[in-house]
Amino acid sequence: MRSATPAALDIAAVLVFVGIGRSVHTDGVTVSGMASTAWPFLAGAAIGWIAARAWRRPADIVPSGVVVWLACVAAGMALRVVAGQGTAAAFVGVAFAFLGAELLGWRFAARTLFAWRSGGAPRALAGASRPGGRS
């Protein structure tokens, strides 16, 4: 999988998170509002991509997905503090869970789809056993 598609999926995940959050809190889904809320998380995801060198194996859940997810949330929250935006505990928890589901979820779905298209069951779904009964 080329790096551009996974990067676009990570960006889309952050934008979905921000869009849902802004609409739920009736902040409105405007370009300026989305940009204001999204930039810390997009910067955090970029930090994660660099830290994990995710362009090498961008669809891998570990380390790429986990590092991008954790950096997205941690750096995103830190940047929100620096920018004077809120970081209530409930918001941190929701961001952690929702971004984790999205950033790891698409990677799991992609790997599962690829494994099925290749004619085998994904290791995560096959009990991680190897041919010949060895695990």
Closest listed residue to residue 44, CA positions, set 11, 3, 2, 86: 11
Mean pLDDT for the stretch of residues 98-102: 98
Distances (CA, A) of 83 to 21, 37, 95, 107: 18, 10, 17, 30
Structure pTM?
0.84
Q: Indicate whether 126 pLDDT > 60.
A: no
Per-residue pLDDT at 118: 79
**46-71 pLDDT tens trace:** 999 999 999 999 999 999 999 999 99
Tokens at 8, concatenated: 């676009």
Residue 51 and residue 21 in contact, taking contact as beta carbons nearer than 8 Å: no
List, in order, residues 6 or more apart from 69 with CB less than 8 Å away.
Answer: 48, 99, 100, 103, 104
Per-residue pLDDT at 120: 67
For residues 71 and 41, what is the distance between their CA atoms, to the nearest angstrom? 9
Residue 130 and residue 124 in contact, taking contact as beta carbons nearer than 8 Å: no
**6-57 pLDDT tens trace:** 999 999 999 999 999 999 987 788 999 999 999 999 999 999 999 999 999 9
Would you kindly state where each structural domain of the chain is located, as residue ranges? 4-121
For residues 56 and 116, what is the distance between their CA atoms, to the nearest angstrom? 22
Burial of 131 (0-12, 13-18, 19+ CB in 10 A): exposed
